[in-house]
Structure 1
């Protein structure tokens, strides 16, 4: 491994530790618990807003789950159903499991939020002892993608997803941690108040998205 790759790997390992610590905290506040989906929040120390944790069960195989939830550059087909993705490109492939990507969105939130871009370090690994797939990401700077005046650069702070199969069933336990500063002039209250209700139906819709991909 080159020094460059080793430096990024060290950052990715540290990010895994940070996400694990945040997910393990005990003082999360439940804000929505509906149809088997628990959404919790906690004040973020990175920006003036909340970080959110969502826990649910996905009744599908790991391969199908990743196909639905991941974009093409990460081995999935999410672009086939997610209309909020304008484009995702790889800026740098550090290793097979560690990439720097640029993600541009369309308008969303009923058109209230204009397009945004993210530059993200994304790392994925497997923990064999618990049969868990871990994916973590956070915003980074990259020489191939400087900020531009015609689009707002949003920031994703330590974020992660744990997907675990207990080995006894076909279902998956999924825990997602998200903390995003969308930037711009949209009031933070918009995201604080609406986000839990925007995401709570997502797990229920996964089989529908899978059908769209495979049709």
Structure 2
């Protein structure tokens, strides 16, 4: 596989999703500070999700906290293992992740192996762009169901009215594998995205308290 070519293609697709008008999407879950939309995916037979939230920290400080294993592994309660597998270049990496169970145990832990491209755009937009891949160091394991991530990513940009705060956007589309009904996945994923933001904010508060 040409990792760099794949990463370029995924980055273009994720950027296009980020630019879409949310009026074309359906709101499926929301809180006072977090909103989750969905629509049918163009990349597989499942659902594409988009979550947006305001995070009260500058975007350049939030961004590494979101994706680097040394940070993510400390605050993300959905993750039991998250490690760097290979560095392709200074902006392209392969990660391996094992999740905890989803939906109060309705869905067993999953593992993912995925390629990530870090890309920055004019206007201080910082993004991760990811997709599942096969990697020789991580063949299929009988211990976990292998999930697949289709073009997904995180985006951080300064809030126009307050540059010290961040507009955070998550684009997520996953096939959790196994014999799961689509309705089960659709009931779990919006909550998973809200928990991601909530856990991240809690992790940031703890980090500030420890400094």
TM-score bracket relative to the smaller structure: 0.7 to 0.9
Distance 2:88 2:64 in 1: 22
Distance 2:196 2:78 in 1: 14
Which of 12, 18, 21 is matched with 2:7 structurally? 12
Map 1:28-67; keep pairs closer than 5 Å.
Answer: 28-67=25-64
Partner of 2:80: 86
Partner of 1:106: 100
Partner of 2:149: 156
Distance 2:82 2:194 in 1: 24
Distance 2:32 2:133 in 1: 36
Map 1:135-146; keep pairs closer than 5 Å.
Answer: 135-146=128-139
Does the 8 A contact of 1:56 with 1:173 survive in 2?
yes
Q: TM-score with structure 1 length normalisation? A: 0.84
Moved more, 50-59 or 80-89: 80-89
Q: TM-score with structure 2 length normalisation? A: 0.86
Distance 1:138 1:62 in 2: 23
Distance 2:199 2:99 in 1: 20
Distance 2:42 2:207 in 1: 38
Listed one character per residue, the Cα deviations across residues 90-133 of structure 1 (whole Å, up to 9, x for unaligned) are 22110121101111122232122212110100111221x21110
Aligned residues: 206
Distance apart, 1:205 and its partner CA? 4.9
Partner of 1:77: 71
Partner of 2:163: 169
Listed one character per residue, the Cα deviations across residues 25-50 of structure 1 (whole Å, up to 9, x for unaligned) are 44212223431322111101333321
Partner of 1:134: 127
Give the secondary-structure state (helix, strand or coil) at the position aligned to 2:163: coil
Distance 2:144 2:196 in 1: 27
After superposition, the Cα gap between the structure-2 partners of 1:155 and 1:166, relative to the gap in structure 1 and judged at 3 Å, is same
Where do 4+ consecutive residues of structure 1 move more than 4 Å?
Answer: none
Does the 8 A contact of 1:77 with 1:213 survive in 2?
no
Distance 1:65 1:30 in 2: 25
Distance 1:202 1:84 in 2: 8
Q: CA RMSD in A?
A: 2.2
Distance 1:131 1:88 in 2: 27
Distance 2:128 2:202 in 1: 23
Distance 1:20 1:49 in 2: 20
